[in-house]
Structure 1
């Protein structure tokens, strides 16, 4: 078993705009946290976060979905939020994240007829779940994400960011979140994003994600990304793609190329938003998803 850090509960007290009760499950020797709101018998909407966020990212998206009668399940990946955090960066891999999420969603929660909402690293993990468990996934909502095949082009700015993460044990989580929002979320919200990461050792998962991106077709994780990309083209489920108009990390042009690569219509543009579009336009996104689900019911 890896050395694991568990963030003290008091770090999560009275977070702004986040009245949701925690739920826990033991998966692969870790205590994983998830939100589970709404009617238990409704088909679930599963919302997956990325780097370096946690389920708090979806707090503005949830109310319109809950008002529309949906069950919302929002996991924290290992290393994030209220989930256990292995402290060795080397513990984290694409395969391991996918195995753990499948253990939670399929084995523990037994989700069926799910709508998967994915963004950032939630995309590679969630889209792999969709193609490997097609009997459990009925719809996809894809936002500002992609798949890493080893063929993707990485910018000089990203390379500099990766190098910074690799050498920075005490990663500035709040700075990273703030820098990827179009509208400054304010000190209280930034503090909520920092709440899970009470020690430098707790940040191993956040440090690992940029280092996990395969930079060549034969690098770890690349073959799986290639397989998921090919399988997505044949996965015939209704898909809504939403993309921020001002994402500097994955610009709209990237979203359009990704939609074409997986055989989906061009993304709808989310105005006034940056990479963390849930923070900039969460209520709008929640209403748009709820309306789309009503139209595909």
Structure 2
């Protein structure tokens, strides 16, 4: 598998991102980056990002969570952030992303009692891991995410996004983060989202990700996702939805989680006001304020 590695100097002096890097080698000879902040803490939160962001998305939440006594682990998915980037779009599959994150969290870090926060593709990956390794998890918070099986109509907002990402050249990552954010990103913040991608050859992952979302019943990921939902419909672990009011892609999906997963019933679900798709940018303090009583404080 041919891949590219973003030069370290691309990540110098990023706005409010002064976290020490950590790396592990995963399948296909790839190096995967993750943040591990406050590793001595007893309680653990794993934060999974989506497309086309990276762990920079959690820079506002991490200090707040650490102040409450949490260890925070935030990986960069393969193809994103400081992780290696396969060049061929065909090298990216849904199953490979699940496997790469599994390798990091379970094989390398051997994590248990995980409080999981998922957003966007973080949910498509994280919910699979939750269903297939329920014993590793403690509580789950789902934000602006879903896990389709290919049996659903994904809506006009998603279909427009999928079509747009397939044709954009160049692919303006920083500008797209701004489109999905209600608050105004600074020039430095938009540049930080562009930092992992020195040129278009690094962007196979961000380009292909929308097409990997199961959108038809014969999708390669459909059997595994159907099996995962069969387990999630029996899941007793507490699950909290924290969706935002200004995300055209996932609007209303929180109701499906609340109806379908037993552990979601009776939880203090929230719709966060003034939040776009990337609600970690818009509502960091509000998210953490909801997570602390749900996951449990110090």
Task: Tell me, yes or no, if the aligned pair for 1:150 and 1:217 is still in contact at 8 Å.
Answer: yes
Does structure 1 conserve the Cα–Cα contact (< 8 Å) formed by 2:166 and 2:207?
A: yes
Q: Give the unaligned 5+ runs of structure 2.
A: none
Q: Whole-Å Cα distance in 2 between the matches of residues 197 and 39 of structure 1?
A: 29
Map of 2:232 onto structure 1: 232
Partner of 1:19: 18
Post-superposition CA distance 1:15-37 (Å, at most 9, x none): 11111110011111211000001
Maintained 8 Å contact 1:230/1:262: no
Is residue 284 from structure 1 mapped to residue 286 from structure 2 by the alignment? yes
Higher mean Cα deviation, 112-121 or 280-289?
280-289
User: In the alignment, which residue of structure 2 is the partner of 1:274?
Assistant: 276
SS of the residue corresponding to residue 183 of structure 2 reads: coil
Counterpart for residue 255 of structure 1 = 254
Cα distance in 1 between the residues matched to 2:170 and 2:40: 39
1:135 partner SS: helix
Instruction: State the distance in 2 between where 1:154 and 1:112 align.
Output: 33
Partner of 1:170: 170
**1:81, 1:170 → 2: CA distance?**
18
Distance 2:230 2:169 in 1: 36
Give unmatched runs, 5+ long, in structure 1.
Answer: none
What secondary structure does 1:34 align onto? strand
1:96-153, Cα deviation, whole Å (9 max, x unpaired): 0000100000000110111111000000101111111122111111111001211121
Assess if the C-alpha contact under 8 Å between 1:118 and 1:126 holds in 2: yes
Q: Is 1:221 the counterpart of 2:259 in the alignment?
A: no
| SS at 2:24 equivalent | strand
Deviation at 1:269, TM superposition (A): 1.2
Shift of 1:223: 1.6
Could you say which residue in structure 1 is the equivalent of 2:65? 65
Aligned partners of 2:230, 2:44: CA distance in 1, in Å?
26
Quick one: distance in 1 between partners of 2:157 and 2:43? 41
> Superposed, which structure 2 residues align to 1:64-143 within 5 Å?
64-143=64-143
Q: Name the CA distance, whole Å, in 2 between partners of 1:277 and 1:208.
A: 23
RMSD: 1.6
- Residues of 1 paired with 2:295 and 2:163: CA distance? 41
Question: Partners in 2 of 1:184 and 1:236 — Cα distance?
Answer: 39
Distance in 1 between residues matched to 2:205 and 2:148, nearest whole Å = 18
Change (3 A) 1:156 1:290: closer
Comparing 225-234 with 94-103, which one deviates more in the overlay?
225-234
Aligned-pair CA distance for 1:157: 4.2
> What TM-score do the two structures reach when normalised by structure 1?
0.94
| Separation in 2, partners of 1:208, 1:156 | 18
Distance (Å, rounded) in 1 between the aligned partners of 2:273 and 2:283? 8
| Cα distance, 1:47–1:268 mapped onto 2, change above 3 Å | same
Whole-angstrom CA distance in 1 between matches of 2:170 and 2:201: 8
Whether 2:60 is the aligned partner of 1:54: answer: no
TM norm structure 2: 0.94
Give 1:68 deviation, angstroms.
1.1
Give the CA deviation at 1:166.
2.0
Alignment partners' CA distance in 2, 1:149 and 1:169 = 29
Question: CA separation in 2, counterparts of 1:90 and 1:261?
Answer: 33
Q: Distance in 2 between matches of 1:274 and 1:197?
A: 23
Distance 2:213 2:295 in 1: 32
